[in-house]
Amino acid sequence: MDQNIRAFVGIDFAEKVKDQIHELQQKLKGYARKGRWKGRDNFHLTLKFLAQISFAQKVQIDESLQSLCRKERPLNLELKGLGVFGGKEPYRVLWLGLAGDIQDLGALHKKVDQALAPLGFPPEKRPFNPHITLGQDIVLARGFEEIQAEVGGFEFTPIHAERIHLFKSEQVRFKRIYTTIADYPLG
């Protein structure tokens, strides 16, 4: 890693879960007039956005997160519920929510925030709202609640999160690509 990279900390999903999220996303696209949709391989749960990091910071992040994650236990999560950020169209974010070990997930988020603060990454001021972004700047052909009722009832494979990841985020041929550059086992 010779130069600074754009990075974030998060939880990745198994291929089967990404396929299921993608299937739901494809249904939702059918209800949209326009929007920017996340690529199937980019579905993840963000714990902490870091912006630009240097090689020296990555080494410190690795040490800090390895130490933290050893003391944490894996999480059992499930994908549940659709929502939007931004009260009017275009919706800033169309998202998929989570259930399961949500309190433990919130505690893990806070510990990651606190562990990385001394390294130059200020704690997040907004409350943690765990979600998976499906699309951005979405304009729907019908009301969100109506679409939510029609698409509801989807079922996903449970998620057993056994590690967190440090992702590199880069623009490649006008497409955002997320790549794991480190991972840290929980427990």
Residues marked as catalytic: 44, 131
Burial 127-149 (b: 16+ CB within 10 A, else e): ebebbbbbbbebebeeebeebee
Helices (H), 43-143: 55-70, 102-116
23 vs 13: CA distance, rounded Å: 15
Beta-carbon contacts of 36 under 8 Å, excluding residues fewer than 6 positions away, are 135, 136, 137
Residue 67, CA distances (Å) to 93, 109, 111, 145 in order: 33, 15, 11, 43
- If we measure between CA atoms, which residue out of 167, 135, 169 comes closest to residue 47? 167
CB 184 within 8 A of CB 71: no
